[in-house]
Structure 1
Amino acid sequence: MKKTKFNQIHYKLGAKMVEFAGYEMPVQYSSIIAEHKAVRNSVGVFDVSHMGEVFISGEKALGFVQYITTNDASKLSPGRIQYSVMCYPDGGIVDDLLVYNLAENEYMLVVNAANIDKDFQWMKDNNVFGVELKNRSDEFSLLAVQGPNSKAVVQKLMETELDLEYYHFRKDKIAGVDMIISRTGYTGELGYELYFTGDESVAEKVWNSIFEAGKEFDIQPAGLAARDSLRLEMGYCLYGNDIDKTTNPLEAGLGWITKLKKGNFIGLDSILKAKNDGLKRRLVALTSNERAFPRHGYDITFNGEKIGTITSGTISPVLEKPIALGYVDTRFKEAGTKVNFLIRGKEIPAEIVKLPFVNI
């Protein structure tokens, strides 16, 4: 099992550690709800060093990125980031990812931890452009500083003005350490993701500097469980739950990052066919006023008939009621539609709603 450079810090903080995507990771420190609310109300820090970083360079780097991803990377300039997915020829999703335009003919793709090896192999198998591919996932540490006070914390550790717009990044120093500072996150809050290399001593220096700077804001470490409840309140997809090789981006509500007119990319023909044939199901947001815990794999029903399946569910720490994502027959996709969660044989009244569940 791999360990991040912050492993000993997590143990010292008393984190509950679990195996996740081949890494030993902190699932929680104090309580999931307390960590969740720290991010919503002030600032929290996540170790997400298990994420993968693949670097692409060469004369045809843009052509390669355009071919393997669904979004239009030609719209990026250096310092810009894009959310995208890679698809199989049948339109199923290989992974969702972030595309960073580092410089002309140079990109960084940030992929999900559980998919690093699969994704890198997929890129190599489809490298008909002769670009250079480097999997540098093990070299990079990654901290996500998230919450309304995240800018104030990070700014304290910089000598330059932190004026990044959403989905922009730049290279700079934090606590004297060179890094990529990215205004991105998986929480819906103002936040920054900090990519840097170096050993445990560098990682510890950065961690301790952030927590010292955040002391006045009662900064808290946050684990994977809070990361999951935060992303679900926003309706962000989780690979392996809400999207996978059996789902196409249109039915997953990712049409906004699927540019069908940009030129050829892997999966285009199948996605066009699915669109022209009419989508059979859609990923929707659901909530209930009942005391219930909707879980991945539970049925969604209407008048006793199964019409779909829950892909992600929890009790929202902010709303204090059940929230879920799930696929339903397209007849039932409109907000306001009354349906049910089928939980242990009992139908629990629920309703399809618009995202996000929580307005930031």
Structure 2
Amino acid sequence: MQDGPQHGPLHEHHVASGARMADFGGWSMPLEHAGGGVVAEHRAVREAVGLFDVSHLGTVRVRGAGAAAFVNSCLTNDLGRIAPGKAQYTLCCTQGGGVVDDMLAYLVSDDEVLTIPNAANAGRVAGMLADAAPAGVEVLDEHREHAVLAVQGPEADGVLHALGLPVGADAMSWVEASWRGRPVLVCRTGYTGEQGYELLPRWEDAEDLWDAALEQVRARDGRACGLGARDTLRTEMGYALHGHELSTDVTPVQARLGWAVGWDKPTFWGREALLAEREAGPARRAWGLLAQGRGVLRADLPVLSADGEPLGTTTSGTFSPTLGVGVGLALLDASVARDDVVAVAVRSRSIACRVVRPPFVPDRTRG
């Protein structure tokens, strides 16, 4: 067993370039790159283009006769809603309705599905699928077979065009392509709220593709970006992060992810518990918090009413480089309503926040 965090295909490359590394889900990944910082990287994505290494994300392939139907009987969303060549956001739940992980599922055919779970949960998701798989369906953990590079921002199309990769696909779609004769999956997906792509080359091709893509990114006033900027970008969009907005103690109903549940499907893990919670109404719901003055929100802070009564807890928080104020996400009592003003306790003071529905900035994923 490896001591310490695992290393992706670009680890030594990032270290040599001066990137600041940190542990993400058991993998050593760039928090920020040299010569910029989180705010500069964040703004590059909103204004031009950024290149992320997210190869810590898992890749779990399910294949065999009826593989898509099998996956559909396990995960929450309905694969029957999409065609081959499309992607779908979905959830893996416990029978009690808690979220083991959220992920993208890429439908290849009736007999093959590729899923991209989070780094820390990839092994558990693969194990749950493997344990449930019928004869003739195999579950392959391909975590070290594919790198994942994200090109995100208004200039993303230009980067891909310069690389000779297909552009202009509809959101949540993917295509098999090649770059310099090497296979790469081009996916019209991302986690920033900007138009962009995720590229899945072979593990051994990652460094060459990274260097070529970064050259084109820099030519468009963009930069390499770390997972610090990825977090501020996704928080501005209100996107859930497992371990914060999602966990086995948080359900899709509470997280406002009912749109990612195929409620009419006859079976999926957690179905009965989620149907019951939807019918009764959840005791708490996900909200956004917009600071009304100075102060930066963080995760795990108490949220209080004007009278000091506990209402819930923040799940994420940051300073929004786009808005210039503090923003956060929280799980709050069902009595809380949009535009309520609440107080977030930060050490010896409190920050007044308005309750809002994210995103905090415009969604440009379909630009």
TM-score (norm 1): 0.96
Q: CA deviation at 1:58?
A: 1.4
Q: Does 1:177 align with 2:167?
A: no
* Identical counterparts, % of pairs: 35
Q: CA deviation at 1:278?
A: 1.9
2:318 & 2:218 partners in 1: Cα distance? 30
Residue aligned with 2:21, SS: strand
1:198 & 1:325 partners in 2: Cα distance? 34
Matches within 5 A, 1:135-284: 135-158=141-164, 161-199=166-204, 202-284=205-287
Q: Which runs of 5+ in 1 are unaligned?
A: none
2:7 & 2:241 partners in 1: Cα distance? 22
Provide, for residues 195-244 of structure 1, a one-character-per-residue CA deviation record: whole Å limited to 9, x for no partner.
01142xx2222112112223321221100100000000000000000000
Q: Does 1:47 align with 2:53?
A: yes
Q: Which runs of 5+ in 2 are unaligned?
A: none
Residue aligned with 1:68, SS: coil
Q: Does 1:338 align with 2:338?
A: no
- 1:314 matched residue in structure 2: 318
Contact 1:64 1:129 (C-alpha < 8 Å) held by counterparts: no
Matches within 5 A, 1:271-310: 271-302=274-305, 303-310=307-314
Query: Which deviates further from its counterpart, 27-36 or 114-123?
Result: 114-123
The list of structure 1 runs, each at least 4 consecutive aligned residues, that deviate by more than 3 angstroms after superposition, is none
Q: How many residues align?
A: 356
1:276 & 1:285 partners in 2: Cα distance? 24
Contact 1:301 1:347 (C-alpha < 8 Å) held by counterparts: no
Q: In structure 2, do the counterparts of structure 1 residues 161 and 196 end up closer, same or farther at CA, with 3 Å as the change threshold?
A: closer
Residue aligned with 2:59, SS: strand
Provide, for residues 3-44 of structure 1, a one-character-per-residue CA deviation record: whole Å limited to 9, x for no partner.
111112212321011122221111011200000000110011
Q: Aligned-pair RMSD on alpha carbons?
A: 1.3
Query: Which deviates further from its counterpart, 182-191 or 17-26?
Result: 17-26
Contact 1:36 1:317 (C-alpha < 8 Å) held by counterparts: yes
- 1:27 matched residue in structure 2: 31
Q: Does 1:57 align with 2:63?
A: yes
2:95 & 2:170 partners in 1: Cα distance? 34
Contact 1:79 1:169 (C-alpha < 8 Å) held by counterparts: yes
Residue aligned with 1:33, SS: helix
Q: CA deviation at 1:282?
A: 0.2
TM-score (norm 2): 0.94
Amino acid across the alignment from 1:203: A
Amino acid across the alignment from 1:223: G
Query: Which deviates further from its counterpart, 62-71 or 295-304?
Result: 62-71
